[in-house]
Structure 1
Amino acid sequence: MSTSSEERIEQFYKMVEENIKNGMPYRDAIELAAVTIGGLITAKVSQAMAKYQEAIHPQSHLSQEEGNDALALLSMGVLWDNTYFNPVEPDVSTPLENTLAESIYFIMKYGREEDGLKKALEANSKCVGDVASRGNAIQRVLEKV
């Protein structure tokens, strides 16, 4: 019997929480959990990490845009939901997996800042999509830091 997306995502967050509890920095905790769970979880975390890097790189167009968090989520959504182009292989991710990636983006972007949890939740609230689910995921990780 295969594990559902929801079960894999819950397993991922439990592993992240355990890794942090054991003293691991949250970025390492996220990456280790993603690699351990594998599959689309690894792919979504990789996409979120890449988008986070683009959003903070001072020479990227994204980092210079007003409302760059919303644009980052939108650009990931365009890729995931196949709204504006046809990829070579269809994306088989679920909305839950997309929400996971969006949450990881906020965690990575704001987690190291003073009041990182508060800033991540504020940024999340300004973006469309499943704000509540993203907020819960952000809290699960950043409350442990």
Structure 2
Amino acid sequence: MSISSEERIEQFYRMVEENIENGMHYRDAIELAAVTVGGLITAKVSQAMAKYQEAIHPQSHLSQEEDKDALALLSMGVLWDNTYFNPIEPDTSTPLENTLAESIYFIMKYGKEEDGLNKALEANEKCEGDVESRAKAIQRVLEKV
């Protein structure tokens, strides 16, 4: 019997929560859960981590943009180039995994800030897409921090 995307994502978030409850830093908890669950989850978490690094790096084009969070979600999986960019269409065969990557981006970007949960939720609200599902995922992780 094959495990569904929804079940895999639920398994991932349960593992993240358990790892955090056991004293692990949220970034380590996310990375360990992603590697343990494997498959597309690992790839999407890697995409989110790379996009987070790009968004905070002071020399990246993306970090200079006013609307960097929305642009980060649009350019997930590719480097942002402010002079020539055509947003890539999300893979419609993996909507749950795309939402997972977007949620991890917000968790990483705002999680270490004071009042990070509220900042992540506010940033999420300003972006298009599955705001409600992202908010639930953000809360699951950052409420444990």
Q: Shared fold by TM > 0.5?
A: yes
Q: Give 1:105-124 correspondences, 5 Å limit.
A: 105-124=105-124
Equivalent position amino acid for 2:38 in 1: G
Comparing both structures, which one devotes a greater share of its residues to helix? 1
Contact residue 44 and residue 101 of structure 1 kept, 8 A: yes
Equivalent position amino acid for 1:99 in 2: T
* C-alpha distance in structure 1 between counterparts of 2:22 and 2:54, whole Å: 30
* C-alpha distance in structure 2 between counterparts of 1:95 and 1:70, whole Å: 17
TM-score of the aligned structures, taking structure 1 as reference length: 0.90
Equivalent position amino acid for 1:135 in 2: A
Deviations 1:7-38 (A, max 9, x none): 00000000000000000000000000000000
Q: Secondary structure at the match of 1:51?
A: helix
- Structure 2 equivalent of residue 46 of structure 1: 46
Gap runs ≥5 in structure 1: 82-90
Cα deviation for residue 76 of structure 1 reads 1.6
Any runs of at least 4 consecutive aligned residues in structure 1 with deviations exceeding 2 A, and if so which?
Answer: 77-81
Q: Give 1:124-143 correspondences, 5 Å limit.
A: 124-143=124-143
* C-alpha distance in structure 2 between counterparts of 1:105 and 1:93, whole Å: 20
* C-alpha distance in structure 2 between counterparts of 1:19 and 1:97, whole Å: 21
* C-alpha distance in structure 2 between counterparts of 1:113 and 1:9, whole Å: 25
- Structure 2 equivalent of residue 18 of structure 1: 18
Deviations 1:60-109 (A, max 9, x none): 0000001100000011284462xxxxxxxxx6851000000000000000
Contact residue 99 and residue 134 of structure 1 kept, 8 A: yes
* C-alpha distance in structure 2 between counterparts of 1:125 and 1:100, whole Å: 16
- Structure 1 equivalent of residue 80 of structure 2: none
TM-score of the aligned structures, taking structure 2 as reference length: 0.90
Cα deviation for residue 130 of structure 1 reads 0.2
Equivalent position amino acid for 1:40 in 2: L
Q: Secondary structure at the match of 1:30?
A: helix
- Structure 1 equivalent of residue 74 of structure 2: 74
**Paired positions, count:** 136
Gap runs ≥5 in structure 2: 78-86
